[in-house]
Structure 1
Amino acid sequence: MKILWFTFLLLFLFLQNKAVYGQTDPRVAVRDIVNAVTKRSDSLASEKIYLQTDKPVYTTGDTLRFKAYLFNAVYLAGSDKSGMAYIEIADEQNKVVKREMVSMYMGLGWGDIALGEKEFPQGGYILRAYTSWMRNFDTQYIFKKQFYISSPGETDLLIRSAFTTKQVEGKQHIGIGLQIHKTDHLPLVLGSFQLKITTGNKVWYRDKVQTSVDGSIDVNFDVPEKADTSKLAVTLQSLKKDESGPILSIPVILNRPEYTDLQFMPEGGYMVAGINTHIAFKAIAEDGRGTSVSGLIYNNKQQQIAAFQSAHLGIGSFDIIPQPGETYTAKIKLPDGLYSKPYDLPPVKSSGQVLNVINKLTQDSLEINIAATADLEAANPVYYLVGQSRGIACYGAVIRLRHGASKIRISKTSFPTGIARLSLLNINKQALNERIVYINRNDNLRIALSSDKRYYTKRDSVAVSIEVTDKNGQPVLGSFSVAITDDSQVKNDSLKNNTLKSALLLTSDLKGTVEDPGYYFQSGLTAAQWQHLDNLLLAQGWVNYDWPTVFRPITPALNPAEQAFAVKGKVSNMFNKPVEKAGVMLLSKKPSFIRDTLTNKAGVFNFNDIYPSDTAIYIIQARNKRGKSFNVGIDVDEFKPPVFTASTERMIPWYVNIDSSGIKTLDNYLSYKKEHEKLLGHNMLKEVKIVDKKIIKDSKNLNSDGGSDFSLTTEDLEKAGKAKLGDLLTQKVKGFHLGSGKNPYAYYINGQFMHLIIDGVDITFSFTYDGSGPTAFMHYVKSFLDYYTAEDIKGIEVMRSARYVSSYTTRFLDPLAVPFDHAFVEVTTYSGSGPFLKKTPGVYMYKPLAFSPQKQFYSPRYTVKTQADTSFTDLRSTIYWSPNIITDKNGKAMFSFYTTDKPGTYTLLMDGSDMNGNIESIRQKIIVNNVSHP
């Protein structure tokens, strides 16, 4: 027994000493940190997604074409985590207009979205892309791209706007100056308009105005205190009797210098007394974009200690040595020569350390300088310096200060190309300072494009050869997408537009919007541009890393990864207990098939290998072990859409403040359109809209012609998913509301008492007052509004006018009732049984999202005969689009297309990857002339 006890004691002392050594040995600690970071990154397997679209802007009725690239965020290899992605388009109110699924294979997928005029009217939109797995992480990795849909034929007016502001008796006063020209460049003389000033649906000002002889309108407006100036807009609608015209919207964009936002970000996160600190700043104008500024820094004695001036897009940097006990403010110089209100710099810490990184373009290493205050030096602390990139730890070192400072160099080869994060931690693994820098290893793919000729004529054949190699000149097998657009119709800004390369290596790892990302990826980057990139990372890239979570156990993800589309769900009994070995049948009409399966012990069923069409509707039936559906319920794992924050950037309509290139594009479009009409021998007529009467199949509509004032068809309801009947009426029927005043406990449509008729039966037929109070009838009606969903309903018809109401008042109302006080909503259900029967037990109707169609891009092929055919004019804006060009084992590929009838230049944009960590994005011009060149 003594021997056993002695052995245990020795073992205990050994383990204790080992534990103490492990805690005190810095080498072990830094290794543990590096391992923890890498382990967590490998476990999470985060993803990045990028969409290349065929062009940056569209017109109504156009088609948006895209190629989706899905990568493992660490290695930039094709993600094997997700086999599906979601693509959605939201309007300026952040309402999702379209959402589709895309099947991803080895990280690649593509599709098309038709921008029909009904679904996508003229205005600003945002395109998003994500996977289910990506919803577990920061939304910064979710792809976002704003674009505008214009309708050049909708109006023949061009508007120039200018806004001035001043304070008048304590109120904000806005001077609005508009100048209206027609597309023929002549001013609109004495044009009459209804002018409104609004924020959303709220109208703050209304007046009838008339343009002067030069087409100008001037309006003065006092801004109410409750009005959000960032959302102000002016709307104009013609008052000419013979011309209804569209409602033209002009955003009120204010850029008052005194409202400039100025932010200061010390390198490493803090200003520390007595230590030189490099400070970045960013000036943001009232419109949300960077603005050039210059100014002065003052201490608390109002002594000038430094000057600063922005270098690029309102971003710059300067150095100061903060003093103990002092506070600092900045003032910027305004256009009138005066200085602005003071802006506070961050407070000065009396004790701490500063992390400074020097990252020169021409050097192959990073210079790291760490300095600390005297009290910390006396404590002789141990620090850990950890370098990360793409979420994995690439570098780790133990830092001890000598004479209050430490200087080390880190080879850039320790990090891959992209953003690297350097963190200084104490012995408790708490981050003290952080800094991000950009590493350029010049190891992206090399893409060489060559065409068969230097110049081309109209309707000419163009053959383009592609050769792709890696950094060592070895051929690369990869997947690439190519878009070619006409410069006279599509403005491709090389600086403003994101590419696959700038998105993966820069913008996806930064918070907020990066203005002009292409600026930082130009060929032959200068030292000044490199410094601007470093300033950007100092000013905008300060993202706190949640270090405590690195050392905690990884919790299960809320949103599982989806390898493929599946119909999954659970069968349970009336006590909500799972039903094992329940028979489940899946039925589809389009395409037609029937499948069956059994539930497992947890009551779960799963149907795989299904590819739903754009109108897919599935019927799921469940039976218990005895083949009965009694007391059997079905829950299906349906897609629950995420809610993203709305973009604050305002989109400017094409007809507002159009620039010279835009005017040239418009002139070209109109001239070619006129020439086309001349060739066809006729002029374009004004649009005449014919509205077809919507007939709801099996409806009990009492009007002999099936007429109504408003209706929702089966097609409309299929798009509404599981929306409740009450929500449908609220969203679709203008004026539908719960009453107020004398009768707040009934539903109305613009003041008319609403009668709900389901399959020809008035729901009041079975209402019995139970003495529960005046709200009883309201709750009774609401039970039907909440019970029925769009999936239960074939159609909804609203009768409000005397023409359609009279037949209903005769059937359902007292003869003395006033017909005009009543409106009727006829609901036609699939069951057709009226408001009596419950939904069929053991049956579930499932309408999944559709997969985006993969249509082949139409590119005409001209023969000698068709090249001379003048009966039509080729006005394509997208000349060529191919989402999946594959290079062979020699790194080569080829494609061809035909030019249009318009001379000028084309822009070729090409993105692609070997899906094994190497990417590239390039652009090239193609010249088209009217004459041949030798």
Structure 2
Amino acid sequence: MNYRRPLWAAATLAVLVSFTAPADEFTQRIAAQLKRFYTLTSPEKVYLQFDKDVYNAGETLWFKGYVVAEAPQQADSVSQVLYVDLIGPDQRLLVHQTLAVQAGGAPGSYSLPGNLPEGVYTVRAYTNWMRNTPDYFFTRTLPILASAAGSAPKQPEKTSAGAQVQFFPEGGELIAGLPSVVAFKATGPDGRGISVNGTVQDEKGTVVSQLRTHHLGMGRFELQPTAGHRYSAKVRYPSGQEATYELPAAQPAGFTLQVQEKADAFQVVIRRKAAAGEAPTERIALVAHVRDTLAHAAQAEVSTAAPLTVLVPKSQLPAGILHFTVFDGQQVACCERLAFSAPGTGARLTVQPTKKTYGPQESVTLRVAAQDAAGKPLAGSFSLAVTDVAGTSQLRNATDIRSSLLLTSDLQGVVEQPGYYFATTTPTTTRALDDLLLTQGWRRFVWKALLADQWSPMPYAREQSLSMSGQVLGKRMEPLAEAAVVLTSFRPSKSYQTLTDAEGRFTFSGFSGQDSAAVRVVALPTKSVKHPQLVLDDKLPAIAASGAALWPWAADSSALKFQTVGGRNTVSMRDKNILLNEVVVQDRAPQATRPDNRRIYGRPDATILTKDIAGIGSYKDVVQVLQGRVAGLTVVANQDNVRITMRGKSSSSQTQMAPAMQQSTNSRNRPMVSDAPTMPTATPLFLLDGIPTDINMINSIPVVDIEAIEVLKPGSAAIFGERGASGAIAFLTKHGNPNYRPGEEPAPTVLAPMYAPPRLQRVREFYTPAPNAEANATPAVRSGATLYWNPSVQTDASGVATVSFGSATRSGSFRVVAEGITRTNEPVRATELFKIEASK
């Protein structure tokens, strides 16, 4: 490596620089296991760009999700399904969306109800594969205001009540007699950083160091502890109150690790103090890596007489968190330290309006360009938002695509104001970022487990398409390997079979995302287990112990529709023109007075109660139950064909047959009923526990599981709109009754539950008037609103994309924010301003 050797390196005992394969056996094993970890786990990262920082109730929240591989060479195998959740201020789930990922991006939106309570909401995004490491989900807090006017909710005043200060010796431990840096972080009761100052003193009250926060409650001080002494920090809060904290005790022997960033390299200093009877020198190993890129791995002797200094040049380091680890002579990790490898002069994104000022309703044209460090064009995928500056609250130093993918996605916990560290590059921001990494933990893996080939379980598979997965268990809840699992769909009628793996897990994939008919999933008996237990994976990771609730602020309870499929309660909500995805709620606690919400209609015209039918257990199917029991209802069963029609008021003059009726229902030799209608007839709507379905699904239900059949003639079924124009027949199961108690059925039966197949969220398109549109075609943009949103800006081989849209009808300043990923997998961001002014 060619770089100017700084003066501070002249006195180093040894300089170890290695970007080739390590020569010794131990560091070779480290390199191999590091590569193996990223190959097997192939971590993924998610980032969401939003059109704004702060929203008002009643607005639409627009976003684009980016899914990237942590290791660039694995970018082609990232998940193709993204899950996005909206969580309320009370930590309850509000909306769950499933989005298809195409070319690394997934656009989406939320329609926020107008009566949404004001507060700070959370959006989290993840893939099914990321559920194996839920600490690394993407999360973003979004303030939502109760009305169009106003500003972001104010943060609570910072006081000393509930405040705390934590201390973090650099490298891990204080060693008696060795100089160290101690980082600290002071936080208030809300977890946010607060400013403090104070002194560090020994047990006699002698002051040995001063401390003062540098940024967001973080800071550092130097300390060389003396053997036999205890140290504490006396801290003064902004309120004037004081508190005393004990510092970690200094160990009598061990290693310290210090890292300093220089102009063109990271200087690593390793010191050692030997215990009584130990040799004066010890062979250690130093490893440095950024994700799967090994920056340095070598062994050297370190003496108690002088420190060991190692230089790790920046020139070949990828951007991201740089992880240093020191292994002692027993090959045990004893010191760890994080630093940050800055992007440097990497890819660059620019957004340029054709002019700085436009007239009302004039066409606005923006030129989006991406270039690499040498100025050569770059192709990439970007999203672009244009918002009115007036009335728009902008969060200070909010997260962006660079801070998220390069920094916070590799750290556990919440990073406050992450955009601060990327807004500018100055000694102040560089120092603040280093303080952050001294105090914020990193735990993608533990070296001891990694070197011992002990891998964390990865039960959740990577999804290249929508899937249903789960596990098959035996009598003692043990996983059943090689167990056959069958999935049956009823529209069209098809069956699919797979075998479980060694952990009893299975996956069915390839769902279109548009299917609405429920499916049945069953585990077939094995030689050792006659009745295996099948447990489907829940696509909703836990949020808090309080459980999940949906849209608790909905003033109109009729907007909520509760449904039951196979005993699993589901809730969906229609908000005007958008159908929000169904969310499964796992609350099954018995409640004697729970309402039966399967009926959204009034009194039925006819009701059949199976408990009143003698010998119901001998009936082959529900078709036989219906025959001849309801006036005006015609049931014709011939071989494998079933036709059910209802006489009544209908606009149709002839009998209609739904396509599903023409499919096999596996019925045989049913008697034919020739109750010829004298009035117009048509096929009614079929409901199973409140869910529209077809006769194939109905006929697959064991008769003894049916509780009641309710018939609604066309007039009574008007609540269903056009679908109920020919009447409706509602089949209510015992398992679907919220007050059902096992054992009530007249004959024992094992009913395989039905499940709603995975569905994709319908992607809405942001309405944009054509450039130079008429005045009445251009909607008025109110203060703080989004003028333009485009989640699909693609630069070509020339590295340029051009977008045009009609300007607002009123004057004002507008902010442009563009973010995205280049073809070389680099996150980039650009901002710009332009004005709209009426002619004078």
Give me the TM-score of the superposition, normalised by structure 1.
Answer: 0.63
Q: Pairwise mapping of residues 811-890 of structure 1 onto structure 2 (< 5 A)?
A: 830-831=732-733, 836=745, 844-861=753-770, 863=772, 865-866=774-775, 877-890=785-798
How far 1:150 sits from its partner (Å)?
2.3
Q: Which residue of 1 aligns with 2:359?
A: 457
Q: Which residue of 2 aligns with 1:654?
A: none
Q: Which residue of 2 aligns with 1:93?
A: 90
Q: Pairwise mapping of residues 186-265 of structure 1 onto structure 2 (< 5 A)?
A: 253=156, 255-257=158-160, 259-265=162-168
Q: Is the 8 A contact 2:471 2:505 kept in 1?
A: yes
Q: Which residue of 1 aligns with 2:198?
A: 295
How far 1:61 sits from its partner (Å)?
2.8
Q: Distance in 2 between matches of 1:696 and 1:30?
A: 59
Q: Pairwise mapping of residues 19-34 of structure 1 onto structure 2 (< 5 A)?
A: 27-34=24-31
How big is the alpha-carbon RMSD for the aligned residues of Structure 1 and Structure 2? 4.5
Q: Is the 8 A contact 1:258 1:341 kept in 2?
A: no
Q: Is the 8 A contact 1:77 1:915 kept in 2?
A: no
1:511 to 403, 412, 430: 412
In the alignment, is residue 411 of structure 1 matched against residue 295 of structure 2? no
Q: Pairwise mapping of residues 271-420 of structure 1 onto structure 2 (< 5 A)?
A: 271-334=174-237, 340-360=242-262, 363-375=263-275, 378-402=279-303, 403-420=305-322
How far 1:521 sits from its partner (Å)?
0.6
In the alignment, is residue 896 of structure 1 matched against residue 804 of structure 2? yes
Going from structure 1 to structure 2, the CA distance change for 1:385 and 1:578 (only over 3 Å counts) comes to: closer
Q: Distance in 1 between matches of 2:254 and 2:810?
A: 65
SS at match of 1:70: strand
Q: Distance in 1 between matches of 2:208 and 2:500?
A: 74
1:906 to 814, 822, 825: 814
How far 1:291 sits from its partner (Å)?
1.1
How far 1:552 sits from its partner (Å)?
2.5
In the alignment, is residue 152 of structure 1 matched against residue 51 of structure 2? no
Q: Distance in 1 between matches of 2:138 and 2:283?
A: 41
Which letter does structure 1 place at the counterpart of 2:217?
A: G
Q: Distance in 2 between matches of 1:265 and 1:725?
A: 45
How far 1:38 sits from its partner (Å)?
1.8
Going from structure 1 to structure 2, the CA distance change for 1:526 and 1:713 (only over 3 Å counts) comes to: closer
Q: Distance in 2 between matches of 1:621 and 1:544?
A: 35
How far 1:96 sits from its partner (Å)?
1.2
Going from structure 1 to structure 2, the CA distance change for 1:875 and 1:732 (only over 3 Å counts) comes to: farther
Q: Pairwise mapping of residues 42-81 of structure 1 onto structure 2 (< 5 A)?
A: 42-75=39-72, 78=75, 80-81=77-78
Q: Distance in 2 between matches of 1:352 and 1:323?
A: 14
Going from structure 1 to structure 2, the CA distance change for 1:482 and 1:302 (only over 3 Å counts) comes to: same
SS at match of 1:348: coil
Higher mean alpha-carbon deviation, 102-111 vs 373-382, is at 373-382
How far 1:71 sits from its partner (Å)?
1.2
Q: Which residue of 2 aligns with 1:798?
A: none
Which letter does structure 1 place at the counterpart of 2:803?
A: F
Going from structure 1 to structure 2, the CA distance change for 1:876 and 1:265 (only over 3 Å counts) comes to: closer
How far 1:329 sits from its partner (Å)?
0.9
Q: Which residue of 1 aligns with 2:642?
A: none
How far 1:124 sits from its partner (Å)?
3.0
Q: Distance in 1 between matches of 2:490 and 2:383?
A: 38
SS at match of 1:896: strand
Q: Is the 8 A contact 2:359 2:836 kept in 1?
A: yes
In the alignment, is residue 794 of structure 1 matched against residue 697 of structure 2? no
Instruction: Give 1 or 2: higher helix fraction.
Output: 1
How far 1:58 sits from its partner (Å)?
2.1
Going from structure 1 to structure 2, the CA distance change for 1:765 and 1:725 (only over 3 Å counts) comes to: farther
Going from structure 1 to structure 2, the CA distance change for 1:445 and 1:902 (only over 3 Å counts) comes to: same
SS at match of 2:439: helix
Going from structure 1 to structure 2, the CA distance change for 1:574 and 1:858 (only over 3 Å counts) comes to: same
Q: Which residue of 2 aligns with 1:222?
A: none
Q: Distance in 1 between matches of 2:537 and 2:523?
A: 21
Q: Residue deviations 1:575-605, cap 9 Å, x none?
A: 99999999864124xxxx4444456699999
Q: Residue deviations 1:555-590, cap 9 Å, x none?
A: 4522122221135689999999999999864124xx
Going from structure 1 to structure 2, the CA distance change for 1:65 and 1:617 (only over 3 Å counts) comes to: farther
Q: Pairwise mapping of residues 446-485 of structure 1 onto structure 2 (< 5 A)?
A: 446-485=348-387
1:116 to 109, 113, 116: 113
Q: Distance in 1 between matches of 2:356 and 2:286?
A: 54
Q: Is the 8 A contact 2:160 2:239 kept in 1?
A: no
Q: Residue deviations 1:488-525, cap 9 Å, x none?
A: 232223x43111110011111223221111111124x1
Q: Which residue of 1 aligns with 2:651?
A: none
Which letter does structure 2 place at the counterpart of 1:529?
A: T
- Where structure 2 has 5 or more consecutive residues not aligned to the other structure, the ranges are 1-21, 547-554, 564-568, 575-579, 598-605, 615-686, 692-729, 738-743
Going from structure 1 to structure 2, the CA distance change for 1:580 and 1:454 (only over 3 Å counts) comes to: closer
Q: Distance in 2 between matches of 1:291 and 1:577?
A: 53
In the alignment, is residue 132 of structure 1 matched against residue 40 of structure 2? no
Q: Distance in 1 between matches of 2:523 and 2:226?
A: 78
Q: Residue deviations 1:323-381, cap 9 Å, x none?
A: 111111111234576x6121111111121221111113xx1111111112254884311
Going from structure 1 to structure 2, the CA distance change for 1:536 and 1:725 (only over 3 Å counts) comes to: closer
SS at match of 2:803: strand
Q: Is the 8 A contact 1:88 1:128 kept in 2?
A: yes
How far 1:277 sits from its partner (Å)?
0.9
Q: Is the 8 A contact 1:423 1:435 kept in 2?
A: yes
How far 1:886 sits from its partner (Å)?
0.8
In the alignment, is residue 537 of structure 1 matched against residue 411 of structure 2? no
Q: Is the 8 A contact 2:773 2:806 kept in 1?
A: no
Q: Is the 8 A contact 1:714 1:793 kept in 2?
A: no
How far 1:908 sits from its partner (Å)?
1.3
Going from structure 1 to structure 2, the CA distance change for 1:492 and 1:876 (only over 3 Å counts) comes to: closer
Q: Residue deviations 1:840-890, cap 9 Å, x none?
A: 8676422134312222210123647427x8996766711111111111111
Alignment length, in residue pairs? 666
Q: Residue deviations 1:625-654, cap 9 Å, x none?
A: 9xxxxx99995745342213589xxxxxxx
Q: Which residue of 2 aligns with 1:267?
A: 170
Going from structure 1 to structure 2, the CA distance change for 1:759 and 1:86 (only over 3 Å counts) comes to: farther
How far 1:533 sits from its partner (Å)?
1.3
Going from structure 1 to structure 2, the CA distance change for 1:397 and 1:693 (only over 3 Å counts) comes to: closer
In the alignment, is residue 445 of structure 1 matched against residue 347 of structure 2? yes
- Where structure 1 has 5 or more consecutive residues not aligned to the other structure, the ranges are 1-24, 161-249, 626-630, 648-688, 698-710, 735-757, 767-790, 796-827
Q: Distance in 1 between matches of 2:231 and 2:272?
A: 21
How far 1:70 sits from its partner (Å)?
1.0
Q: Which residue of 2 aligns with 1:752?
A: none
Q: Distance in 2 between matches of 1:45 and 1:931?
A: 57
Q: Is the 8 A contact 1:89 1:96 kept in 2?
A: yes
Q: Is the 8 A contact 1:80 1:107 kept in 2?
A: no
1:560 to 445, 455, 461: 461
Going from structure 1 to structure 2, the CA distance change for 1:321 and 1:583 (only over 3 Å counts) comes to: closer
How far 1:303 sits from its partner (Å)?
0.9
Q: Is the 8 A contact 2:370 2:377 kept in 1?
A: yes
Q: Distance in 1 between matches of 2:463 and 2:265?
A: 41
Q: Distance in 2 between matches of 1:114 and 1:415?
A: 43
How far 1:321 sits from its partner (Å)?
1.4
Q: Distance in 1 between matches of 2:362 and 2:611?
A: 68
Q: Distance in 2 between matches of 1:636 and 1:531?
A: 50
